[in-house]
Amino acid sequence: MDLSSINPILLLASLMVAATPILLAAIGELVVERAGVLNLGVEGMMITGAVCGFVVAVGTGSPWLGFGGAAIGGALLALLFGILTQYLLSNQVATGLALTLFGLGLSALIGQGYIGIKAPSFPDWHIPLLGDIPVIGPIVFQHDPMVYVGLILVAAIWWFLNKTQGGLVLRAVGENHDAAHALGYKVIRVRLLAIMFGGACAGLGGAYLSLVRVPQWTEGMTAGAGWIALAIVVFAGWKPWRLLLGAYLFGGVTVLQLNLQAAGLAIPVEYLSMSPYIATIVVLVIMSSGRAPGSLSRIFHASR
Amino acid sequence: MTLLSLQGLTKAYPGVVANDDVSFDIKKGEIHALLGENGAGKSTLVKTIYGLVNPDAGVMWLENNIFAPAEPRAARAAGVAMVFQHFSLFDALNVAENIALGMESPPPLREVAERVRAVSDQYGLPLDPDRTVGDLSAGERQRVEIIRCLLQDPKLLIMDEPTSVLTPQEVDILFQTLRKLSAEGTSILYISHKLEEIRALCERATVLRMGKVVGGCDPRETSARDMAELMVGSALQVPEKPEKPFGDVALTLAKLSAPAPHQFGTALRDISLSVRRGEILGIGGVAGNGQDELVASLSGEMKVAREMVQMGSEPVGHLPPNARRARGLCAAPEERNGHAAAPDMTLIENALLTGNTRKKLSLRGFVKWDSARDFADEVITQFDVRTPGATSTARSLSGGNLQKFVIGREIMQNPDILVINQPTWGVDAAAAAAIRQAILDLAAGGAAVIVISQDLDELMEISDRFAALNEGRLSDPRPARGLTIEEIGLMLGGAHDLEVAHVDA
């Protein structure tokens, strides 16, 4: 085993890249759950976003348009979930699980002609001045733009939830939908918007895999990233900054174990592969003190 | 001068006419009572005024303008504010955030907090805007609701059953605030079934029965009994209490202590008492002072140390509910739908759930459905439960009927000890009288009964001794006969840091 082959600067730099798809999907789901809706279809929305983004990017040659297409694709699939659960009052858990299965199948269908094609390249930014700082520059300031979009999104969501009237209403709807309704807030409208936002974020997360991380289309390429995003939301106690920590922790252990595998560590590969999941959950469980939104996954009907 | 005039309001739901041609006026600065049994249409009516329900027919006039609010927002803009019966608060948010949610285009939270402090000082309703609502007592939570309304400078304030969770002293202070508001020209529509309170507070009353206005009266000059009979539409039967000497001690609690079972729960501290056969012990107290925890530790849902609960001389503190049932202790918890009964299961299944042990409704793990059905039918007949049949689900029954079923189910098991939490909460007057009579009859037959209730009139009517639960501590039981409301109020812990309004100071 040769641990000296692991470059700590590269390791830390790739941590941010590895964490981004989960971060994007998880921050969307956080908003959805704070509005009182449990959407277990994150995995399905992610992979739909991955294929939509890939198809659009290949068709137009523009990765930016690809991400736009991914967000729309994820949001449309989420809208389906929204209509089923908010208007037709279907069970959120069952509908979410079905959404995942549906998304996996739908994406395989859409992506049939795209296997083996390479995505248009999405160059890294080299942020002037900041990017030239030794050590910190290559770790933090020489990534592709979506890494920063993810970070800005986390900050924006924190600000929205805690500092704006709209965020207060969203939290109120998630905390007690009957009371919010009695005060005259549009519970279903708020939830539908949150659900679509969550779908768009999951779509972006998926497209990050197919356009940047891999960058190719293969069936089932999200490989459980949506589920870990769901888990991170819960263990982060529905708080944006903890969610960032959880996603980076997961990303960090993922790239570390890949590096260890490459360095030939004398531990069976299976143990290394499961280590990111175990490490993330253990750390977040230890520090978790969050309280679930009061109306989470309860069906709202105005007459009750 | 008339503030709000209702003319011919009608609202029908499938199978029931909730409001049928309802007309009456509310004058400016008047405290107007709206009386009626459960299901008489009071809620639908106030929801119509508040814009939550659109009437099928009829018009409302507010200060001589047509008033047809499409949503609560419009009603609030027109000057109508409402304090809800089940508080419409958000536990996880703080006081200022809760209040901001009830305002049109609220200012920044810091400003909201300042205005809360100003108004709470003006009306003598102390409240810290930064506290999380989930940690507040029921009285404090009500203050949040009231201040939320007062910040809108309402012309009409609607209060739906505001005193059901307050101590007598807190009620006094609420009334002083309301009188002050009325003197300032705010009209108040006051809904309650506590007739003595209405007699003390209100100037006019409108009585609803089956969705129709059946009359009005001046509560200051009408007796509570006359008003009750106007509501019910027939003469009321007052439960009779037979005089009999008590038997041996059936249940003893010895320094019962238990930690709070969850974040918003209450710890029990050093509760000692004994109840004799034939005796009814009434336990009063404001909700959230340990009632649920006490019932849970008596029924066996919450296990405590062996010696803390004794039946006769046998320690049972460590035993689960079914073992206690087998020894003769039955319990009926407060929440009908979800705790005392499984809402989506039939009455037969619900009868089986607690009756299995004492009525032997199963044999070697197999249910004897015929016996279970007979038992359920027996409860339905004996306790006059109005339902199409024993195969109806618990949820489909009205509150009063399900309560009669739940209490009947325990009484029909002939327990030696019966524990009941809130026997008549949300139950109409006729059903409440029937339930109280059944409790009295059970005690007369030699059972020891503990009744926990927030309705002090009810406790005075049926208990032999009275004790108060306050922050998980139980006061020494005293003979109920001859206790005054003031003495009870002091036993309940008095008013929690309340002071009198000082508007004109």
Residue B319 CA from chain centroid, whole number: 30
B contact test, residue of A168, A190, A298 with most B CBs within 10 A = A168
Closest residue in chain B to residue A172, using alpha carbons only? B90
Say which DSSP state B346 is in. B
d(CA A50, CA A202): 9
* pLDDT 10s digits, A108-138: 999 998 988 888 888 888 778 787 888 888 8
Contact check, Cβ <8 Å, A180/B89: no
* A171, A183, A293 member nearest B88 (Cβ): A183
- CA A34, A39, A40: angle at the middle one, nearest 5? 130
Query: What is the pLDDT, as a whole number, of residue B87?
Result: 62
pLDDT confidence of residue B411: 93
**Interchain contact A239–B (C-beta under 8 A):** no
Please list every residue in chain A whose beta carbon sits closer than 8 Å to the beta carbon of residue B72.
Answer: 182-184
pLDDT in tens, B195-242: 888 888 999 999 988 888 988 889 888 888 788 888 877 766 666 777
CA distance A279 to chain B (A): 28
Please give the pLDDT value at position B261: 82
Residue B322 to chain A, least CA–CA distance (Å): 31
Contact residues, A window 252-271, toward B, CB-based 8 Å cutoff: none
Domain ranges in chain B with CATH number 3.40.50.300: 2-232, 249-336+415-491
| Range of lowest pLDDT (A74-88, A199-213, B451-465, B478-492) | B478-492
Residues of chain B with pLDDT under 50: 495-505
Contact A176 B88 (CB under 8 A): yes
Q: Is the pLDDT of residue A240 over 80?
A: yes
> Does A167 lie at the interface with B, CB-CB under 8 angstroms?
no
Confirm or reject contact between A62 and chain B (CB < 8 A). Answer: no
* Location of structure tokens 């046998």: B314
What pLDDT shows up at residue B236? 62
Return the residue matching tokens 């995505």: A119
**What type of residue sits at position B88?**
S
CA distances, B332 to each of A166, B221, B299, B410, B420 (Å): 43, 39, 9, 7, 5
Rounded Cα gap, residues A142 and A80, in angstroms: 38
DSSP state of B395: G
* Inter-residue contact B436 to B449 (CB < 8 Å): no
Does residue A169 sit at the B interface (CB-CB below 8 Å)? Answer: yes
Distance in angstroms (rounded) separating the CA atoms of residues B289 and A198: 41
Taking an 8 Å cut-off on Cβ atoms, the answer to whether B92 and A183 are in contact is no
Neighbours of B455 (CB within 10 A): 19
Mutation for testing the B interface, residue in A161, A181, A183, A188 having most B CBs under 10 Å: A183
Residue B23's pLDDT is what?
92
Q: What is the pLDDT of residues B368-402, one digit of tens each?
A: 999 999 999 999 998 888 888 899 888 888 777 88
B71 and A184 within 8 Å at the Cβ level: the answer is yes
A171 inside 8 A of chain B by CB: yes
Q: Which of A179, A185, A293 sits opposite B89 (nearest CB)?
A: A179
ipTM value, please give it: 0.79
Task: Say if A182 is an interface residue toward chain B (CB within 8 Å).
Answer: yes
Residue in B closest to A179 by C-alpha:
B88
- The pLDDT, as a whole number, for residue B499 is 40
* Calpha distance B268→B253 (Å, rounded): 12
Check if the beta carbon of residue A20 is closer than 8 Å to that of residue A146: yes
Q: Collect all residues of chain A within an 8 Å Cβ-Cβ radius of residue B152.
A: none
Quick one: pLDDT at residue B400? 77
- Given an 8 Å threshold on Cβ–Cβ distance, is B101 in contact with A172? yes
- CATH number of B249-336+415-491, picked from 3.30.413.10, 3.40.50.150, 3.40.50.300, 3.40.50.2300: 3.40.50.300
Q: Rounded to the nearest 5°, which phi and psi values hold at B409?
A: -60, -40
CB–CB contact B88 A182 (8 Å): yes
Answer whether A179 touches B (CB < 8 Å). yes
How much is the pLDDT for B164? 67
Contact residues on chain A for B92, CB-CB shorter than 8 A: 171, 175, 291, 293-294
Enter the pTM of the model. Answer: 0.73
Task: Tell me how far CA of residue A218 lies from CA of A146, A215, B368, B468, in angstroms.
Answer: 21, 10, 58, 69
- pLDDT score at B85: 64
d(CA A113, CA A219): 12
Task: Identify the pLDDT of residue A141.
Answer: 82
Domains parsed from chain A with CATH numbers: 3-113+145-287 (1.10.3470)
Q: Is the pLDDT of residue A198 over 90?
A: yes
What is the DSSP pairing of strand B16-27 with strand B2-13? antiparallel
From chain A, pick out residues whose CB is under 8 angstroms from the CB of B84: 179, 182
Q: Which fold has domain B2-232?
A: Rossmann fold (3.40.50)
